[in-house]
Structure 1
Amino acid sequence: MSFPQPVPPSWKDLGKSSNDLLGKDYPFNEAKLEVKTTTPSGVVFRVSGNQDSKSGLILGDIEAKYSNKAHGLTLTNTWTTTNTLKSLVEIDNQLAKGLKIDVNASVTPDKGTKGTLLNLIYKQPGVHTRAVLDVFKGPTITADTVFGRDGFLVGAEASYNVTEGRLSRYSAAAGFSAPEYAVTLHGLSNLSTFAVSYYHKVNRDVEAGAKAIYDTKATTSGVSLEVGTKAYLDDAAFVKAKINNAGVLALGYTQSLRPGVRASLGLAIDTQRINSISPAGEVPHKLGANLVFEA
């Protein structure tokens, strides 16, 4: 008996469980504040600002998002401190079932730069495909497709430069995804870089994962390896830890202070230079924080 197949993840979400485990909730590169509010009419406002720990620059943006679920329409406008204006228009499940169209445009008046991306996303049981047209760059068409059946996933991505008439980039991936674990193998950058990731939900309170990357064009030989774990202390707090083969240990702690208020702390320690300072006078350890308000 054949069971209905779920919609597989998109190309960019292949290996997402492992990437989120190893990449999110470690705010040691910045100090960030984010505030989200929702009006009675359903308009969501988001204001965020962050200071980069290395450059010291403070960047921010203000975003307004309006959704009309009855007509599948979402409009998002963003204004950044670099004077970049962004607009995103999304139309979902209106022209055909499973088809989503969005137009993402941006302009920076000071520099005279602009960009527009036209995205077509089509989802059905067993297949998830996307096509992106970069109007001003190239123009370039990027397409990717992921097929899934009984937990097995196979996907590919390719970019075609219309002006030059050539294939500029291609990648492939394969994996297996189950509720408790997932394994994904990527061949990226014209199959010159290979990455394998693993995620395991050990139990309801503990998660573990790892990722290895081998770049055939890298000047240094060897494989980059990173392993990490996440443990829930209770319903409102969790801790994360990861370490890579360069000896950098990262720690993260996230706490829900109250409904709508979440704080995160991050620390990165270079275990090979515990008490040393780099020749440029830079301390090898990093500390950061992230505070989010939602109302």
Structure 2
Amino acid sequence: MSLPQPVPPSWKDLGKSSNDLLGKDFPINGTQLEVKTLTPSNVAFKVAGNQDPKLNVINADIEAKYTDKAHGLVITQGWTTANLLRTQVEAENHLAKGLKFDLSTSLLPDSGKKTALFNTAYKQPGLHTRAFLDLFKGPTFTADTVIGRDGFLLGAEASYNVTEGKITRYATAVGFSAPEYAVTVHGLGNLSTFAASYYHRVSPDVEAGAKAIYDTKATTQGVSLEVGTKVYLDAAAFVKAKINNAGVLAVGYTQALRPGVKASFGVAIDTQRLNEVTPTGPAHKVGASFTFEG
């Protein structure tokens, strides 16, 4: 008798463990600040800002999210300093268990540019499928599906331009996921770019991962490779480090100062240009991130 199958990750979350290990907690592009609060009426507010050291400007946005768990409804409204208005409405488990509807829109009042994306997702043990309809671009219909059994994962994605009547993009992926490690191989961009990622929880305090990308259309031949690790110093602090084949070394340190307060510091050093200065400054990056949550 086979064991009950878990719900597999969505297409965008294939290889997520490795992507998070190599991509998150490296605040190397200026200073970032994020403040999160929750009201008794289930409205969550988030204010985030980032100071770009090159342009010497501050980009920020404010977001309010209302969650009605009893009716499976989530409404999110955002506004950025670029005067971009975002609205998202999510409804889950209304017509069937595991079925979710999502409408995401954005508007730039200054230029009149707008987007509207209608999404549906359906997940059951062993299956996670999604469909998107971009109402103003094309319109374009995109669908992806991931099936999983006993840790093995198989996924595919395709986009269809309704006006032109043809498939404009397709991709596929295979992988294996276990509690301690995960391996994923993607064929992206109409199978013109291939990516392989690996994640391993070596011990409760140490994680390691790697990612390799080969672009058949790139002007420079070869494989882009990046490896990294995460080490927990204690229950409130960890250090992350990664390096790629271009010689860029990045180190991040995150410390929980108290419940709801977290600080992260990062630096990226180009080991091939230690003493070089570019027109925009040194060939290295530093930054910090502060998160307050209450």
- One fold, TM greater than 0.5? yes
* Corresponding position: 1:292 with 2:291: yes
Q: In structure 2, how many angstroms separate the alpha carbons of the residues matched to 1:231 and 1:251?
A: 11
2:151 equivalent in structure 1: 151
* Corresponding position: 1:247 with 2:264: no
Q: In structure 2, how many angstroms separate the alpha carbons of the residues matched to 1:37 and 1:225?
A: 39
Q: In structure 1, how many angstroms separate the alpha carbons of the residues matched to 2:49 and 2:280?
A: 27
2:281 equivalent in structure 1: 282
Q: In structure 2, how many angstroms separate the alpha carbons of the residues matched to 1:65 and 1:225?
A: 38
SS in 1 for 2:272: helix
2:114 equivalent in structure 1: 114
SS in 2 for 1:19: helix
Q: In structure 1, how many angstroms separate the alpha carbons of the residues matched to 2:100 and 2:54?
A: 39
The question of whether the paired residues in 1 share the 8 Å contact of 2:54 and 2:280 is answered with no
2:17 equivalent in structure 1: 17
Q: In structure 2, how many angstroms separate the alpha carbons of the residues matched to 1:54 and 1:151?
A: 45
What do residues 179-205 of structure 1 show as CA deviations (whole Å, max 9, x unaligned)?
000000000000000000000000000
2:31 equivalent in structure 1: 31
Instruction: State which drifts further: 59-68 or 44-53.
Output: 44-53
Letter in 1 for 2:293: E
* Corresponding position: 1:80 with 2:84: no
What do residues 233-289 of structure 1 show as CA deviations (whole Å, max 9, x unaligned)?
0000000000000000000000000000000001000011112223x2531110001
SS in 2 for 1:83: coil
1:170 equivalent in structure 2: 170
The question of whether the paired residues in 2 share the 8 Å contact of 1:122 and 1:128 is answered with yes
Q: In structure 2, how many angstroms separate the alpha carbons of the residues matched to 1:166 and 1:244?
A: 38
Letter in 2 for 1:108: L
SS in 2 for 1:21: helix
Q: In structure 2, how many angstroms separate the alpha carbons of the residues matched to 1:281 and 1:78?
A: 32
Letter in 1 for 2:124: Q
The question of whether the paired residues in 2 share the 8 Å contact of 1:29 and 1:54 is answered with no
1:201 equivalent in structure 2: 201
Structure 1 position 52, deviation (Å): 2.1
2:220 equivalent in structure 1: 220
1:186 equivalent in structure 2: 186
Q: In structure 2, how many angstroms separate the alpha carbons of the residues matched to 1:102 and 1:44?
A: 19
The question of whether the paired residues in 2 share the 8 Å contact of 1:63 and 1:78 is answered with yes
2:51 equivalent in structure 1: 51
Write the mapping of 1:52-71 to structure 2, written as runs, cut at 5 A.
Answer: 52-71=52-71
Query: Normalization by structure 1: what TM-score?
Result: 0.98
1:102 equivalent in structure 2: 102
Letter in 2 for 1:292: T
Letter in 2 for 1:110: D
Letter in 1 for 2:173: A
What is the aligned-residue RMSD (CA, Å)?
0.8
Structure 1 position 167, deviation (Å): 0.5
Q: In structure 2, how many angstroms separate the alpha carbons of the residues matched to 1:111 and 1:264?
A: 36
The question of whether the paired residues in 2 share the 8 Å contact of 1:15 and 1:184 is answered with yes
Q: In structure 2, how many angstroms separate the alpha carbons of the residues matched to 1:224 and 1:263?
A: 30
Q: In structure 2, how many angstroms separate the alpha carbons of the residues matched to 1:172 and 1:217?
A: 18
Structure 1 position 56, deviation (Å): 2.7
SS in 2 for 1:273: coil
> What percent identity do the matched residue pairs reach?
71
SS in 1 for 2:282: coil
Structure 1 position 29, deviation (Å): 1.3
Q: In structure 2, how many angstroms separate the alpha carbons of the residues matched to 1:11 and 1:40?
A: 34
Structure 1 position 21, deviation (Å): 0.2
Structure 1 position 57, deviation (Å): 2.7
Q: In structure 2, how many angstroms separate the alpha carbons of the residues matched to 1:109 and 1:19?
A: 34
SS in 1 for 2:186: strand
Letter in 2 for 1:265: F
SS in 2 for 1:219: coil
SS in 1 for 2:25: coil
What do residues 171-228 of structure 1 show as CA deviations (whole Å, max 9, x unaligned)?
0000000000000000000000000000000000000000000000000000000000
Unpaired runs of at least 5, structure 2: none
Structure 1 position 31, deviation (Å): 1.0
SS in 2 for 1:7: coil
